[in-house]
Amino acid sequence: MAALTVTFIETDGTERAIDNVDAGPSLMEVARNSGIAGIMGDCGGACSCATCHVYIDESWLERVGAPDDIEYMMLDMVADVQRDNSRLSCQIRMREELDGLRLTVAPLPGY
Ligand code: FES
């Protein structure tokens, strides 16, 4: 199985490169398994909590793709910190074409 890398930038600016990531799990699962600060994933990946909100590095946006309608509605829950490159990390599965992906953990609303 491919050993992929994804880099999370935590809200305090700490860069955490996670190596040996398998294709298949969601980025929320990768983050939680790696102890990335700020990714809680309270709903377990059911797209109903928005506690896995991330900003995708601009250069990766096209490969990652846009949110679907349900995810877009859920992003409304974090509208005060939502950006054009917002995604819910539970809705993105790690795959080979995302090897090297960089994303930033979004702050919780109100912070
Ligand atoms: S984990 Fe709940 S919306 Fe992503």
pTM, to two decimals: 0.95
Could you give the number of structural domains in the chain? 1
Can you give the CATH number for the domain in which 28 is found? 3.10.20.30
Q: Would residue 84 count as lying in a domain?
A: yes
Residue 25, H or E segment: none
Q: What is the pLDDT along the chain (111 residues), one digit of tens a residue?
A: 679 999 999 999 999 999 999 999 999 999 999 999 999 999 999 999 999 999 999 999 999 999 999 999 999 999 999 999 999 999 999 999 999 999 999 998 765
* Cα 56 from Cα 103, distance rounded (Å): 5
Residue 25 alpha carbon to ligand 1 centre in Å: 13
Residue 89, phi then psi, degrees to nearest 5? -70, -15
Domain holding 13, by residue range, is 4-100
- Of 29, 90, 108, best ligand 1 pocket probe by most atoms within 8 Å of the beta carbon: 90
Q: Is residue 47 part of a domain?
A: yes
Record the tokens describing residue 15, joined without a space. Answer: 């860069």
77: in domain: yes
Asked whether residue 110 is assigned to any structural domain, the reply reads: no
Tokens of 10: 């935590």
